[in-house]
Amino acid sequence: MSLARFKTKARQENRGTIMMKFSRRHMMQMMSAATLAGPLAGAGSAFAAREKELNILCWEGYNSSQVLDPFRSSQGATVKAESLTNDPTMINRLRAGETKIWDLINVNNPWARKVMAPAGLIKPLPRTEFEPFFDTMLPQFKAPYQWAMSEDGKDLLGMTQRFGPYSFVVNTDKISRSTAEEQGWDLFNDASLAGKYGIQESDDWNVFDIFMVAGINPFKIHSEDEFKAFSAAAEKVFKGAKMVGDMASLNQALVSGEIDLYMTGGTYSISPARADGYANMRAITPLKGPIDGKGGISWIEITSVVNNPDISPLATEFLKYVQAPDVAHTVAFAEGTFNPVSQMGNPKCLELFTKDELEAIQWDSLEEEMERSAQYDIVPDYDKALELMTAAKRLRG
Confidence category of residue 382, pLDDT binned at 50, 70, 90: very high
**What residues contact 377, with CB distance under 8 A and at least 6 apart?**
110, 218, 219
Q: State whether 57 and 136 are in the same domain.
A: yes
Enter the pTM of the model: 0.85
Q: State whether 289 and 174 are in the same domain.
A: yes
Q: State whether 19 and 44 are in the same domain.
A: yes
Q: State whether 149 and 170 are in the same domain.
A: no
Q: State whether 64 and 120 are in the same domain.
A: yes
Q: State whether 253 and 154 are in the same domain.
A: no
Residue 124 within any structural domain of the chain: yes
* Phi-psi domain of 288 (left: phi exceeds 0; alpha: psi -120 through 50; beta: other): beta
What pLDDT does residue 25 have?
Answer: 31
Mean pLDDT score across all residues of the chain: 90
Q: Residues of the chain with pLDDT > 90: what percent? A: 85
Q: State whether 222 and 242 are in the same domain.
A: yes
Give the pLDDT confidence of 148-185 residue by residue, as tens digits.
Answer: 999 999 999 999 999 999 999 999 999 999 999 999 99
Torsion (CA) 192, 270, 247, 55 in degrees, nearest 10: -150
Complete DSSP assignment for 52-85 = TEEEEEESTTTT-HHHHHHHHHHHT-EEEEEE-S
Confidence category of residue 48, pLDDT binned at 50, 70, 90: low
Q: State whether 136 and 241 are in the same domain.
A: no
Q: State whether 14 and 143 are in the same domain.
A: yes
Residue 366 within any structural domain of the chain: no
Q: Domain range for residue 193?
A: 164-297+373-394
Residue 365 within any structural domain of the chain: no
Q: How many CB atoms lie within 10 A of CB 296?
A: 27
Residue 184: give its domain's CATH number: 3.40.190.10
What's the burial of 22, exposed, middle or buried (CB within 10 Å: 0-12/13-18/19+)?
Answer: middle
Q: State whether 119 and 235 are in the same domain.
A: no
Residue 367 within any structural domain of the chain: no
Give the pLDDT confidence of 270-285 residue by residue, as tens digits.
Answer: 999 999 999 999 999 9
Confidence category of residue 349, pLDDT binned at 50, 70, 90: very high
